[in-house]
Amino acid sequence: MDRKRKIDDTNSQTISVSKAAKFNAHTSRKLQAAVSHDPEIDLTTQMPIDYTGRLIRMQTSKEVLGERGPLEGSISTSQDVFKCAADIVVKAVRHIDDYTEYTTLQYLERHIPDCPAPRPLGCVQMSGISLIFLTHKPSKSLGEVWHGLDSDQEASAKGQLETILTKLRSLPYVHGRPLGGMAGEGCKDARRHLRRSNKPIKTLSEFVEFLRQLSPCLSSPPNIVFTHGDLRPDNITVEIVDCNRCVVTGLLDWEYSGFYPDYYEAVRCTNSLSSCENDWFLFLPDCISPKRYTHWWLLDRVRETRSM
């Protein structure tokens, strides 16, 4: 018994020090539970969104964003971030064919200069690798500190995100402008693998067709609002300051941003939840809560459970 307890304790310690290991452990338990419920289930429908990419980022993020020389070593994944100065990072992306994140950050800098997002400093391409230079402020992600927050801190983070997102969603949409990225990059859907529209989408009906959602006609069409598209704790930076206050300092990773129907942020932020994020979804800002967009959220849940 003592030997078994010791082994279990060792495994628990290993998982706790590695975010990637913890992610895999939760994923494994989720898959085992799914098989117990339905032995013939298609396990690909139970995998976390962008499993491989998220695992790689968890494995490499601490190593890459360290004090290193300019692009020292090789770029081992499709996307790496290197710290090249105290307040500047460079994101190196292989074979990029659109610059949604960069054009979004340029747009936000012009229209909401106080938005807590990185500032774009320049972009160059060479040998199949795009180098995107961005401002950087040392901080922790909300995902790193969430489990240690008390209820007041959680509610405070929710309120701050509500203010930030409400301001983003108030940006005016020009009727007839293609939905999606700010420079015409098109709409994206990143469940299981990235899918893009192959032509400009200019109407809500075309967007619904792009997602292949079976829905009745829109008697009251939703508004089109500016959307982050990948809102989750790992993409929110915070600081714990005086009096133990949790202050939201930034939103990161704008690759899936742009103008989308107002319900889409609620759909996307719950698509991207992993099995290890526990009660985060209970503190989603009201403006993007699934409760506000129940019809569209349930339609998306049905779509997720259908065989693709």
Each residue's pLDDT tens digit, 87-122: 999 998 886 777 889 999 999 999 999 999 999 999
Q: What is the mean pLDDT of the chain?
A: 79
Question: Which CATH number describes the domain made up of 140-306?
Answer: 3.90.1200
As a whole number, mean pLDDT of residues 259-284 equals 80
Q: Please check the confidence at residue 14 and state whether its pLDDT lies above 50.
A: no
Q: Is the pTM of this model over 0.75?
A: no
Q: Tokens 């402020």 belong to which residue?
A: 137
More confident residue, 191 or 66: 191
Query: Would you state the pLDDT for residue 127?
Result: 80
Query: Would you state the pLDDT for residue 80?
Result: 84
Q: Flag the least confident range among 239-243, 244-248, 297-301.
A: 297-301
- Categorize the per-residue pLDDT at 134 as very low, low, confident or very high, splitting at 50, 70 and 90: very high
Q: Is the dihedral of CA 46, 50, 54, 55 positive or negative?
A: positive
Q: Please check the confidence at residue 126 and state whether its pLDDT lies above 80.
A: yes
Query: Can you give the residue ranges of every domain in the chain?
Result: 140-306
Q: Flag the least confident range among 20-29, 187-196, 277-286.
A: 187-196
Q: Please check the confidence at residue 129 and state whether its pLDDT lies above 70.
A: yes
Q: Please check the confidence at residue 78 and state whether its pLDDT lies above 60.
A: yes
- Categorize the per-residue pLDDT at 162 as very low, low, confident or very high, splitting at 50, 70 and 90: very high
> What's the half-sphere exposure (Cβ side, CA atoms, 13 Å) at 84?
17
Query: Would you state the pLDDT for residue 167?
Result: 97
Each residue's pLDDT tens digit, 29-58: 778 878 888 888 888 777 876 777 777 767
- Categorize the per-residue pLDDT at 273 as very low, low, confident or very high, splitting at 50, 70 and 90: low
